[in-house]
Chain A
Amino acid sequence: MRAGQRTAVALGALAAMLAMPLVVTSGFWMDFLILTLFVGVLGQGWNILGGYGGQLSFGHAVFFGTGAYVQAILQTQYGWNPWLAITPAVLAGVLVGAFIGYLSFRYGLRGSYFALITLAFAEAFRVLATSIEITEGGQGIYLRLNRDPDQAITMLQFASGVGYYYMILALTVVALLVAWWIEHSRFGAQLMAVRENEDAAEALGIDAFAVKMRAICISAALTASAGVFYVQKFLLMDPFIAFGPGKSVEALVAPIIGGMGTIFGPLLGSIVLHGVGELTKALTAAAGIDHPGLDLVIYGILLVLMLAFLPSGLMGLLRRRARPARSAEHA
């Protein structure tokens, strides 16, 4: 596809997404769309560091939860306007990212060691959030409900799903643009070089430490912004939602299924994941088996199958199909 065609397709897709609420009117499907886009953003955050940078994190919830808690606390404890809280919330995520990154990358932790460090941080933050006062301990924080339609925009609370849909759509566009920028910039080229071979990257003049630090900060910022959205949508935050394994797993499973280190991989993975999740729920409900958490089992099986048979994800499958056409274009 030529660049012009590509832009046209992207704009067409965006227009379709903008018009979606006109077509989708049921609350169930609206929520489905919102959650799918939300996990797409969460996954894109992970993808920047894990997919493009090759630094696989098992504890991305630490950034999600930090962003979410700061967004919640500034409103409930200090009476901030939600719009004003966004910047500090995202910055707090970045700060935590910089801290973890500095500790890990300065001492050259890679692979499973880095994964364990992130996991440990997420767990430590969960315990911390359970035990300190400002997060209101294990019971969590509840934001004041404000469904006044006149204040919907200023208070970032919407009576129907449509408002949240546009909010998460905007975040999705930002996340996709960040990934696009990674693929078309010097920074992205250097990040991928570090992923492929750190020694060779260093030999070619790349400061691997600096590149990884930038990547973890960008990654944390995106993930924290997903946390901000979550708080505004559900108006609550507790230690388990914030820092538990659930968000960490969703953040990494979506891009792995969709395709690590690709622009649309996380979103595609999220669509498949939620599609399968909903299908599982519907099927088990129809069969009369009611086990919450069965969808997580399915996620696990999917993940194993993907890694065994399709390590480059669904995007890898699409790309393999497209490759002959691509080389013909350059010939």
Chain B
Amino acid sequence: MLEVRGITKRFGGLTAVNGAGLTVPEGRIVSLIGPNGAGKTTLFATIAGFLKPDGGSVMFKGSDITALAPHAICRRGLVRTFQVVQPFANLTVRENIAVGAHARLASRRQALDRAAEVAERVGMMRQIDQPAADLTVAGRKRLELARALATGPSLLLLDEVMAGLNATEVEDIVRVVRGIRESGVTILLIEHVMQAVMSLSDHTYVLNNGAIIADGPPRAMAEDPRVIEAYLGHGASERLAAGGKRA
């Protein structure tokens, strides 16, 4: 469904993403992990049209969307959420979600009704008439997800929707995300919460210094020496292995 080939993005002298590519097959949950500053969010922003890449292409449902504006990409069915949540603070939860629903629905009535349905799905019925500014971190993350979902996407890019949540809240969101996949939406997610990555994703890509260094099933990735070194530093996997033997 999504094919990203050789994306390169530079900011002045800094190459944030360097020839990164990945494939997301329809109906799957694919995750993108990597240490802080690896370029995950930059790659996401480039896929969704917020940044123009210096090289490479993004194919979505068989057509090239590399040069399109974010709103045009959204209308084709690819929508992203933001790691730093961006609620419409002065609007209520219902109105926030309805903005997403308007991507497909012209009628205000229908959009507000769809907003209530989506709120129900992500478990926000209780807060539906609160201003978004009054939500907790967990609530804002949920709202971010709900708004994106309301646009009726076929591919959802989730950028750390679980960061900053406690264990129970993470479990809740994992359940919600799984439900979204079951309803036929393909998902690509950036996540640091490994518990969620393990239980949700079918396939994992590891990004380090702007390049994909490994990909495979999530369990294999967690044990891959290249991945461990990327997170913990050079020689870490050997030391871990040695430590494991001693114990």
Contacts and interface: CB of A to CB of B under 8 A. Distances in A.
Interface string B86-100: 111111000100111
Across the A-B interface, give the 5 residue pairs with the lowest CB-CB distance, nearest first. A205-B103, A205-B74, A196-B88, A200-B86, A202-B70
Interface stretch (A85-93, A183-191, A234-242, A250-258): A183-191
Main secondary structure of the interface of A (DSSP, over half): helix
B86 A186 contact: no
Interface in A115-130: none
A201 interface: yes
B69 A202 contact: yes
Given A186-B102, A189-B99, A330-B129, A207 B69 contact: yes
Interface string A34-58: 0000000000000000000000000
Interface in B5-24: none
B148 interface: yes
Given A185-B108, A203-B80, A327-B129, A196 B71 contact: no
Interface in B144-190: 147-148, 151
A189 B71 contact: no
In this complex, the member of B70, B81, B89 whose beta carbon has the largest number of chain A beta carbons within 10 angstroms is B70
A4 B102 CA distance: 26
Nearest to B99: A193
Tell which of A206, A207, A327 has the most Cβ of chain B within 10 Å: A206
A192 interface: yes
Contacts of A186: 102, 105-108, 111
Given A186-B108, A190-B102, A204-B99, A199 B86 contact: yes
18 contacts: A184-B108, A185-B108, A189-B98, A189-B102, A196-B87, A199-B50, A199-B86, A200-B87, A202-B69, A202-B70, A202-B71, A203-B50, A203-B148, A204-B74, A205-B71, A205-B100, A207-B72, A330-B128
Contacts of B148: 203-204
Nearest to A210: B71
B91 A196 contact: yes
Contacts of A204: 71, 74, 79, 99-100, 103, 147-148, 151
A200 B82 contact: yes
Contacts of A189: 95, 98-99, 102, 108, 111
Nearest to B81: A203
Nearest to A204: B100
Given A205-B74, A205-B151, A208-B71, A196 B103 contact: no
Nearest to A193: B99
B121 interface: no
Contacts of B129: 326-327, 330
Contacts of A326: 129
Main secondary structure of the interface of B (DSSP, over half): loop
B48 interface: yes
A197 interface: yes
B132 to A, nearest CB: 9
A207 B107 CA distance: 18
B74 A190 contact: no
B91 to A, nearest CB: 6
B75 interface: yes
A156 B153 CA distance: 54
Given A189-B95, A207-B69, 8 more contacts: A186-B105, A189-B111, A190-B102, A202-B50, A202-B71, A204-B99, A205-B74, A205-B75
Given A196-B91, A327-B129, A205 B69 contact: no
B79 A199 contact: no
Contacts of B69: 202, 207
B79 A203 contact: yes
A230 to B, nearest CB: 33
Contacts of A206: 71, 99, 102-103
A84 B110 CA distance: 40
Contacts of B106: 186
A200 B145 CA distance: 12
A205 B95 CA distance: 15
A207 B128 CA distance: 26
Contacts of B102: 186, 189-190, 205-206
Interface string B45-63: 0001010000000000000
B111 A205 contact: no
A192 B89 CA distance: 11
Most chain B CB neighbours (cut-off 10 Å) among A200, A206, A208, A327: A200
Interface in A314-331: 326-327, 330
Nearest to B131: A323
Interface string B183-211: 00000000000000000000000000000
Contacts of A330: 128-129
Interface in A293-310: none
Contacts of B79: 203-205
